[in-house]
Structure 1
Amino acid sequence: MGVLIGVLVAVLVLVVLPVWWVVRTYNRLVRLRNQTKASWAQIDVQLKRRHELIPNLVEGARGYAAHERATFEAVIAARGAATGGGLTVAGQAAAEDVLTASLGKLLALGESYPQLKADRQFANLQAELTLSEDKIAYARQFYNSAVQSYHNALESFPANLVAGIGGAHGHREYFEAGQAVDAPTEVRFA
């Protein structure tokens, strides 16, 4: 009887526990990978929200500053590039940087045109845009944190062995915004 218990304990220690650990580690890697996908989806939601505000902002400004055509066209072109789809994370970040720079020029028009600055709808759109920028920054921070956790798990020993065997490898790109996005959008009303 004592030998049988010893054999069962040996089997448990040598077979069951390592298999349990491999399954648990693999499932953790899958959860972390899925968390990076879900957090990217949140960035995408916030970017789409931002992109939907832009045409209204442009139209509101266009009525007051019709001769600023180059500024409006730059914003529309940058929005088109950012919403074109099929971009990598780095490509999306670059497109958003260009869009943010062109939006900065559009918002600066409010300073040049007192009637535009006083327009309530334009002011509300600017406030919505500022809120969107804050939400994008938060979503970017959450996504980059999820990517870091995933990378740490992939690269840590002995979990990296499970990642290699289970095919859970594949680094994710960080969503790194340029200085145009990192600088806060400054909006002033008289």
Structure 2
Amino acid sequence: MRKSTKIAIIVVIILIVVGIPISSYNNLVSLEQTANSASSNIDTQLQRRSDLIPNLVNTVKGYATQEKSIFTDIANARSRLSGATNIQDQADADNQLSSSLSRLLAIVENYPELKSNQNFRDLSVQLEGTENRIAIARQDYNTAVTNYNTKRRSFPSNIVSSLFGFQEKPLYKASEGSKEVPSVDFTK
């Protein structure tokens, strides 16, 4: 075998040995950043909803003065959401807030003059759009995390991920209580 052929074979082997880990590392970094970005998009949409809620609550307060507990529940849920430190705490607080908002919107049904109020209608439309954005952001996050976690566990990326400490990311999951229909009691 000629010397130049041996050198070429050695260069190809080195490129393969070095190239695969570098490619795997770069893919993992890219997928991790996509998941982080998707998580930030959830935060942005949740903040948008949190910013809308006080306006909606104040509009309803003027009509539904006897429904004070719902306003307290909403305030507590917003506070819990803003203090969430990880994705599961955020999901639990988000579900609590969604439940409280569902109860608030059910209360509105008892106040036809409120439903016809232009400010309330505008806020409701904005809130509905925000809820749709939140749902899409959650789906995008879960897709990004699934892609990242799959790549992280696939060969040969699993070797690179363990060497460089790429950790599994949790999916955005609804809390256990989110499957229950919120109760609304107008007798209080």
TM-score by length of 2: 0.90
State the distance in 1 between where 2:180 and 2:141 align. Answer: 16
CA shift at 1:13, angstroms? 2.5
State the distance in 2 between where 1:8 and 1:120 align. Answer: 78
Structure 2 contact 24–156 (Cα < 8 Å) conserved: no
Alignment-derived partner of residue 89 in structure 1: 87
Matches within 5 A, 1:1-190: 3-85=2-84, 87-167=85-165, 169-178=166-175, 180=178
Structure 1 portions without partners, runs of 5+ = 184-190
Structure 2 contact 151–157 (Cα < 8 Å) conserved: yes
Q: 1:125 is matched by which residue type in structure 2?
A: L
State the distance in 1 between where 2:86 and 2:180 align. Answer: 20
State the distance in 2 between where 1:93 and 1:156 align. Answer: 28
Secondary structure of 2:99's aligned partner: helix
Moved more, 173-182 or 53-62: 173-182
State the distance in 1 between where 2:180 and 2:36 align. Answer: 23
State the distance in 2 between where 1:162 and 1:182 align. Answer: 42
CA shift at 1:177, angstroms? 2.5
CA shift at 1:51, angstroms? 0.5
Q: Which runs of 4+ in 1 moved over 2 A?
A: 177-183
Secondary structure of 1:66's aligned partner: coil
Q: 2:106 is matched by which residue type in structure 1?
A: A
State the distance in 2 between where 1:142 and 1:182 align. Answer: 24
CA shift at 1:157, angstroms? 1.2
State the distance in 1 between where 2:9 and 2:58 align. Answer: 75
Distance verdict in 2 for CA 1:139–1:50, change over 3 Å: same
Secondary structure of 1:174's aligned partner: coil
Secondary structure of 2:9's aligned partner: helix
Secondary structure of 1:165's aligned partner: helix
Instruction: Give percent identity, aligned residues only.
Output: 34
Structure 1 contact 100–181 (Cα < 8 Å) conserved: no
CA shift at 1:25, angstroms? 0.9
Deviations, residues 29-78 of structure 1 (Å, cap 9, x unaligned) = 01011110011111111010000000001000000011111111111111
